[in-house]
Amino acid sequence: MTAENINAIIAEGQFSGEIDLLSIDIDGNDYHVCREISVVMPRVIVAEYNASFPPPLEWVKPYEPAYVWDRSLYFGASLAAYANMLAKKGFTLVGTDLWR
């Protein structure tokens, strides 16, 4: 799944308009895919972020459609990057959890 095909994939699943929950965890291009979603409007988004870049750092891995996570810390985006991008779409950060 890529930023270019995410809306078609969602539409193929016969989803459109308002939905309750969208969960994104694809180990790499999560931020870029999330930014492009427009066929659904979730009430809540759950997304994996890269805690290696704590607030207020705003960091996003450059987009690579063929990226495969190599188990390094070079993936995704920081919490601040997500919060800022999603705020532009009308969302507010309400919570987070740090997995260890």
Chain segment 38-55, per-residue pLDDT in tens: 999 999 999 999 999 999
Residue at 94 is within a domain: no
Structurally, how many domains does the chain consist of?
1
- Rounded distance between C-alpha atoms, residue 15 and residue 53, angstroms: 33
Is a pLDDT exceeding 70 seen at residue 32?
Answer: yes
Q: Binning pLDDT at 50, 70 and 90, where does residue 3 land?
A: very high
Residue at 99 is within a domain: no
Residue 52: which domain range?
6-87
The alpha carbon dihedral of 62, 68, 70, 71 has a sign of positive
Average pLDDT of span 6-33: 96
Would you call 8 helix, strand, or coil by DSSP?
A: helix
Residue at 98 is within a domain: no
- Rounded distance between C-alpha atoms, residue 100 and residue 88, angstroms: 30
Average pLDDT of span 82-98: 94
